[in-house]
Structure formats: structure tokens, C-alpha cells
Amino acid sequence: EDQVTQSPEALRLQEGESSSLNCSYTVSGLRGLFWYRQDPGKGPEFLFTLYSAGEEKEKERLKATLTKKESFLHITAPKPEDSATYLCAVQALHSGYALNFGKGTSLLVTP
Amino acid sequence: DTGVSQNPRHKITKRGQNVTFRCDPISEHNRLYWYRQTLGQGPEFLTYFQNEAQLEKSRLLSDRFSAERPKGSFSTLEIQRTEQGDSAMYLCASSLVVSGSKETQYFGPGTRLLVL
């Protein structure tokens, strides 16, 4: 069965303090790995899709990387507006097109 | 591009009542998904449509749940005889899939349901 595990569950950073969020996954055939950002009371906002090991994508202070077992979301010099829950999801080759999400990492960046 | 819209944004109902939610996808998106999210959890897949055809339903989807996408545009999700365990955020997502292309699902703001 496909599994997605995100760590840590919660992370508190000072403004400017870089860190990484982890997404470990088990899937028999990866179609794609997705990162979303979710603010309280809102729907997830798409950030990145990664398709194969070694792939990297960047957007402003965020950089996502992918290996065969895990993905990292690196946050460089975060700002308070980066505070949100970051969700990782996998789409498996054998199970249609549904996204299988982890529980997310709740990030708080303090001034 | 106005994004995915969902109505209502909030719904409070009493146990045993029926509720219906609406999702309007991004214009010309041919796939539409429904997910459910409870506090502290990631979204959980319920069902999806390709145009008007419902192609997949989660095993978790109770018989009390039904979804339609009659003309391949907007979709409705109905829950009959609501239970307190149905309280959650119901999320809709849409995507445009062209044969052989990769897919990105864009989510709406969600409908928060509270069953008393």
C-alpha cells in the first residue's frame, strides 16, 4: 500500500533560519510527487511537481528535490509569510490519478 | 482564470439531514476531483470525473455519498443522512489532461461542513 510520511509534524523557525521539510514515500511506481502549501481555512495551493529521482525545482525561497525514497522541501531565509502547512502527495502509476497526501508539516516563522 | 470555486463555503446541518455542495472547476479543465480533509490530516481522495464520466471512487466512500458532473462542467457532491463523522472540509480540485501530458490538480477553497 502506498504511504506518505512527512516530518517533522511541526517546525518553528526564526526569520532567516533556513531548514528542510522531509517527505518519505513508498509507492510501487511513481507517476509524480507534488508539494502544496495550505493556509488555515483555505484549499491547498500548488507549489511543485517532481517526476523522477534527481529532479529539482525552485520558486523564490523554496526548492524541492526528489530521490527514489524521499523528497525535501528546502526553505532558504524564510519570512513570516512562509508560515503555513506544507503538504506532500504522491500519484502512483497503478492507482489512477488520485493524490495520496501526507499529514503535512506545520511551519511557523517568527520575526 | 478565476480558479476553482466552491459553494457554500460553510454549512452547518443537523444529523440525519441531506447536504449538497457545488464545485465549479477552472474553465476547460476536463478532470474534477473531490477530496475530504479533517483536522490535522492531509486531504483524502473521494472520487473523480473525466468530463462527465465518474471514473474512480474511493473504497472509503460510503453509499450515502453521491457525486455528479452532468455536463462535464460543474459538479455536485451530496451526502445523505449526515452523521457527525462527516464533519470535515470538502475540497474540489480540477486539472486539464491532454493525452500523454502531465497533470496538476488545482484546489478550490473548500466547503467546511459541521454536523451537529
Burial annotation A32-71 (CB, 10 A radius, 16+ → b, else e): bbbbbbbeeeebbeebbbbeeeeeeeeeeebbbbbeeebb
> What pLDDT is stored for residue B1 in this prediction?
56
> What pLDDT is stored for residue B60 in this prediction?
80
pLDDT digits (tens, 9 = 90+) for A28-62: 899 999 999 999 999 999 999 999 999 999 999 99
CA distance B96 to B104: 8
Of B4, B103, B106, the CB nearest to A97: B103
Of B45, B104, B109, the CB nearest to A42: B109
B42 and A103 in contact by Cβ < 8 A? yes
**3-state per-residue secondary structure call for chain A:** CCEEEEECCEEEEECCCCEEEEEEEECCCEEEEEEEEECCCCCCEEEEEECCCCCEEEECCEEEEECCCEEEEEECCCCHHHCEEEEEEEEECCCCCCCEECCCEEEEEEC
Q: Do residues A101 and A88 touch, judged by C-beta distance below 8 A?
A: yes
pLDDT tens, N- to C-terminus, chain B (116 residues): 589 999 999 999 999 999 999 999 999 999 999 999 999 999 999 999 999 999 999 988 889 999 999 988 999 999 999 999 999 999 999 999 887 668 999 999 999 999 99
Is any Cβ of chain A less than 8 angstroms from the Cβ of B52?
A: no
Show the cell assigned to B4: 476553482
Is any Cβ of chain B less than 8 angstroms from the Cβ of A51?
A: yes
Give CA B92 to chain center in angstroms.
4
* Residues of A whose CB is below 8 A from B43: 44, 87, 89, 99, 101
Is any Cβ of chain B less than 8 angstroms from the Cβ of A94?
A: no
**3-state per-residue secondary structure call for chain B:** CCCCEEECCEEEECCCCCEEEEEECCCCCCEEEEEEECCCCCCEEEEEEECCEEEEECCCCCCCEEEECCCCCCEEEEECCCCHHHCEEEEEEEECCCCCCCCCCEECCCEEEEEC
Of A43, A49, A102, the CB nearest to B104: A49
In this predicted structure, the answer to whether residue A102 has a pLDDT above a threshold of 80 is: yes
> What pLDDT is stored for residue B8 in this prediction?
97
Tell which wins on pLDDT, A96 or B15.
B15
Is any Cβ of chain A less than 8 angstroms from the Cβ of B91?
A: yes
CA distance A40 to A31: 28
Q: Do residues A55 and A48 touch, judged by C-beta distance below 8 A?
A: no
Residues 6 or more apart in contact with residue A3 via CB below 8 angstroms: A25, A26, A27
Residues 6 or more apart in contact with residue A70 via CB below 8 angstroms: A22, A23, A24, A25
